[in-house]
Amino acid sequence: MPCSAITLSLATICAVVSVALLAIAFGTDNWQYIKVDRDEMKPQLSRGDITPDDFKSDGLYRTRTKGLFRICYPDSRPEKEGLYLSPVETYCENIDYHIFNEDADTSQFNEDEMVRLHMARSMIALFIVSFFFVFVAFWTGVAGCWRRSPGNIASTAILMLLACLFSAGGMGLWHGVEYYEDEKLKNEPWKASWSETLQDSTSIQYDWSYMISWVGTGMALVAFCLFLGASQCMQGEQQREQAKQMQYIMPVYPQKQQYPSYGYGYPGPYHYGSQYGPYNY
């Protein structure tokens, strides 16, 4: 089996797995798992730093999962408005990026809050651009396989590299947003503003959506390498086919041909009196 066929098959599998994992991670709400031990906090409500009303209605005191667009409460939901059932039957609330909300007022945000907001918006934009490059790579890959064009396959490899870089940039900005929310922002609802009781009773860990996002980004990089290798294999195979065809093309040179002549052109010698000779006189 040709090298290009094997490499193209592996590259296509890696690209499909990459875009599937990135799409799942982009649309699910399990980037962070924030576990709150409410049983540990209940005896400490009498201290006064946490009111019973906040303990019931504020989502900060509930175990939750956090994604790119939603915060969901898998165990118990807080008693507040704005919650809705997600497709997986979990009560969630949206993360506000202040993009399509005309009533949103960001003039009261301080510098760190604006930096965090711009990074969050850019993070979503980078993931969307990454999906756009994968979409274009699909068509260049189909054209390259149909026409057996090394140039189209090389273009597919470059597009997959761009998709990898943009998704990795989105992951980097996600960590930047996380850093600002945990360390820089001192106002609610960010972690730096939590009471000591809440911080001691809360544990935060990365969840499966975050992990498969990194795996999808890595698979995009593997797909780039395989598509680039397939382009080189295809180019080498075409050169060998052309060299093999040249061996069957034999040079044709004009050749001198002798044609029989009549009359004086017959060879001699001639003898008088012979029936085949010249005329007798």
Question: In CATH, what number is assigned to the domain containing residue 10?
Answer: 1.20.140.150
Of 71-75, 85-89, 105-109, 219-223, which range is least confident? 105-109
Q: Which of 24-33, 45-54, 124-133, 173-182 has the lowest mean pLDDT?
A: 45-54
In a domain, 116, yes or no: yes
Q: What is the mean pLDDT of residues 25-44?
A: 89
What percent of the chain has a predicted confidence (pLDDT) above 90? 42
H/E element, 202: strand 202-206
> Is the pLDDT assigned to residue 71 strictly greater than 90?
yes
HSE-CB at 229 with a 13 A cutoff on CA atoms is 16
Q: From 90, 52, 95, select the one nearest 70 (Cα to Cα).
A: 95
pTM given for the model: 0.80
Q: Is residue 278 part of a domain?
A: no
Token couple for 251 = 């040079």
Range of the domain at 201: 3-99+110-235
**Stretch 171-176: mean pLDDT:** 95
Name the most confidently modeled range: 51-55, 218-222, 241-245.
Answer: 218-222
Does residue 33 fall inside a structural domain? yes
Query: Is 30 within the bounds of a domain?
Result: yes
Confirm whether 181 is domain-assigned.
yes
Residue 161 domain-assigned?
Answer: yes
pLDDT of residue 281: 46
Q: Is 85 exposed, middle or buried (0-12, 13-18, 19+ CB in 10 A)?
A: exposed
Contact 235, 3 (CB under 8 A): no
Summarised one tens digit per residue, pLDDT across range 194-232 is: 888 888 889 999 999 999 999 999 999 999 999 999 888
Query: 45 or 73: whose pLDDT is higher?
Result: 73
More confident residue, 126 or 78: 126
**pLDDT in the model for residue 252:** 53
Do the domain assignments include residue 262? no
Q: What is the pLDDT of residues 145-164, one digit of tens each?
A: 888 888 889 999 999 999 99
Give the residue from 178, 172, 162 showing the smallest Cα distance to 223.
162
> What is the domain count for the chain?
1
Residue 241 covered by a domain: no
Q: What is the pLDDT of residue 254?
A: 58
